[in-house]
Structure 1
Amino acid sequence: MNIERLSLDQLRVFVQVADSGSFLAAARKLARAQSAVSYAIASLEEQLGLLLFDRSGYRPQLTAPGEALLADARQVLDHVDSLQVRASSYARGQELEMALAVDVFFPLDCLVDLLQRFRAAFPAVTVRLEVEALGAVAERVIDGRAMLGILGTLPTTPPNLMRITLPSVRLVAVVAPHHPLAKVKGRIAEKMLLQQTQLVLSDRSELTARQDFSVHSRLTWRMSDLGTKHALLRAGMGWGNMPLHVVKEDLAAGRLVSISTIHHPPQGAELPIQCVYKPDHRAGPALSWWLDALANLGSLEAQPAAGSA
């Protein structure tokens, strides 16, 4: 067996014969002489040291090894075709990868909608997505790990980043209905708030490490995952700020209740959302698409699909 001498053309002929059902039909599809197709298959079989087709009948039938290797051949050709598309795109100035850092408070439905539209526009571009909180989003843009960031929980924008203002997210302070704070009528006094455990997102960056934002209790539990914070709030483990779009169903079903303090009005507060990127980063077609798509967002609700009511 001499697999090093295998050619992509041999694999394409192999797949075409299997798909067409005969050497003659494959020759027509490939615009070649039947003898050329037969020779390519015979050479491939010789190099592999096994028969791919049983030729004893009216039409060639895949052998057991042929059936097994057909899937491998398709996979090799798929990878090669993908490489060609990506190389051609890069030669035209299109990025091969889009690296994004997104704040945990950014609505997931909106993010999924943007990613679906991006994939339709740039099917050959891979996406690397990191969901972070506080300074970690900006830090990834500054150090070059992300080409673009969507900031929410960081209250200030680093001065060395360009920014685009996006629609805001509404934040509400919530507790479980059996939590002591849920029993307070009206605005909760600052002294009482200080005595209750606050669930807070932790900062995994050096940019804002050891800084607290919107922390109003002496006792805090910190976590890096918004889903964990959400679960702990519903379990009555403390109080905390959450995006309204995340807890809307819980509030409607009574699994969580909103609270009012000097820092948290009963209707919630608007959290500014910004897109940030480095001014010296060359904006190829993929990054330009994201900058335009984000700048044109009228809201952070997922856009309805074309043709839907």
Structure 2
Amino acid sequence: MVKLDQLRVLRAVVETGSVKAASERLHRTQPAVSQALKALEVQTGTELFDRSGYRLELTKIGRRVYLQSLRVLAEVDDLAQLVRHFEEGREETIALAIDAGTDPDLVTPVLGRIQTAFPETRVVLRAEVLSGAIDAVKSGRAALAVAPMLPVMLEEEGFEHRPIGRVIMRNVAAPALIAAMGTLGRLSELRRFTQVIAQDSGQAAGLFDREIGVQKGQRRWYVADLHSKRALLVAGLGWGRLPEHMIAGDLERGALQEIALPHTHLPFEAGVYAFRQARPVTGPVAAAIWNGFAQLAEGPS
């Protein structure tokens, strides 16, 4: 039976070009390396090297054996890394709830560092809307969350939280719909134009137990996510509020325009928070993510 040690010797000889160099790399004697190669040739039933020249060259079959050995050794290394990963108590899977209104640029730097440091942990990103992120953390479906929030909402739930950025929400519509609206004087005049609303992905309890920013008697359509909402607004099928980072390009090229009212401040700014349960049971990966968001909260050093 072919042994892993023999495959490692084969790799070293091919990469260094000689038994002498391979023995130095492996910290073994030249006879030991030569013996391992001979044993491998016996196991495979063929010569793996052409020894007629100054430098060892793989035979045709030897090249096939060598390439297959690289795949085997890579899988063994991956398995060893996976075993070490779990021996150190690192999570197999971790779920994060990310509100749809969060600018991805806030979280991707932290996630990039996590991917590098913990490549064996599967990260599940749950897309949530409004109270969905709170529900995900409360229920344990997510270890932590990132969402635009009022601090009072997080304090009401008893969460540990920290600010990591800001988001500006703007009420927008396609130019054709803006033109159809004419000169608006009051917010109530928007009721006769369809408002597109992203449905809450949570239970909408507490402060969420109402449709924030929706007037009584307002014509409305519902969508499941902000990308569908944006598509409907660009198509002129309604108006609604979207985060500035999502529509910056649409506003710049005129695909969407901001709704302006002379005496009403429609856009609003909110803090984006990372939050988790006050007494979390966290593994090293969750702790590293939380610490990454802590660094965002503290700002550049």
Question: Could you state the TM-score of these two structures normalised by the residue count of structure 2?
Answer: 0.79
Shift of 1:283: 3.2
What SS class does the counterpart of residue 134 from structure 1 fall into? Answer: coil
Residue aligning to 1:171: 169
What SS class does the counterpart of residue 28 from structure 2 fall into? Answer: coil
Residue aligning to 1:74: 70
Q: Select which of 149, 162, 169 maps to 2:145.
A: 149
CA contact (8 A) 1:45 1:51 kept: yes
CA contact (8 A) 1:51 1:63 kept: yes
Shift of 1:148: 1.3
CA contact (8 A) 1:173 1:264 kept: no
Residue aligning to 1:136: 132
> Does residue 191 of structure 2 align to residue 194 of structure 1?
yes
Question: Could you state the TM-score of these two structures normalised by the residue count of structure 1?
Answer: 0.78
CA contact (8 A) 1:166 1:273 kept: yes
Mapped to 1, the partners of 2:223 and 2:232 lie a distance apart of 10
Residue aligning to 2:100: 104
Mapped to 1, the partners of 2:204 and 2:36 lie a distance apart of 61
Unaligned runs of 5+ in 1: none
Change (3 A) 1:85 1:219: same
Residue aligning to 1:287: 286
What SS class does the counterpart of residue 178 from structure 1 fall into? Answer: helix
What SS class does the counterpart of residue 169 from structure 1 fall into? Answer: strand
Query: Deviations for 1:55-78, whole angstroms, at most 9, x for unmatched residues?
Result: 444433233444344444334333
Query: Deviations for 1:190-216, whole angstroms, at most 9, x for unmatched residues?
Result: 1x3222222222344456699644334
Q: Select which of 99, 110, 113 maps to 1:114.
A: 110
Unaligned runs of 5+ in 2: none
Percent of residue pairs identical: 32
Query: Deviations for 1:77-129, whole angstroms, at most 9, x for unmatched residues?
Result: 33433443454354445445443221111111222222233345555654332
Query: Deviations for 1:242-282, whole angstroms, at most 9, x for unmatched residues?
Result: 1112212322332211114699724x102342222233433
Shift of 1:152: 2.7
Mapped to 1, the partners of 2:297 and 2:263 lie a distance apart of 28
Shift of 1:16: 1.4
Q: Select which of 21, 25, 32 maps to 2:21.
A: 25
Name which of structure 1's ranges 45-54 and 206-215 shifts more when overlaid on structure 2: 206-215
What SS class does the counterpart of residue 142 from structure 1 fall into? Answer: helix
Residue aligning to 1:231: 231
Mapped to 1, the partners of 2:249 and 2:290 lie a distance apart of 31
Query: Deviations for 1:117-147, whole angstroms, at most 9, x for unmatched residues?
Result: 3345555654332332233333333333321
Residue aligning to 2:257: 257
> Does residue 15 of structure 2 align to residue 15 of structure 1?
no
Mapped to 2, the partners of 1:275 and 1:156 lie a distance apart of 13
Shift of 1:235: 1.9
Q: CA RMSD in A?
A: 3.6
Mapped to 1, the partners of 2:285 and 2:277 lie a distance apart of 15
CA contact (8 A) 2:186 2:264 kept: no
What SS class does the counterpart of residue 152 from structure 1 fall into? Answer: strand
Amino acid at match of 2:95: A
Report the number of matched residues.
296
Residue aligning to 1:185: 183
Mapped to 2, the partners of 1:41 and 1:172 lie a distance apart of 70
CA contact (8 A) 1:135 1:205 kept: yes
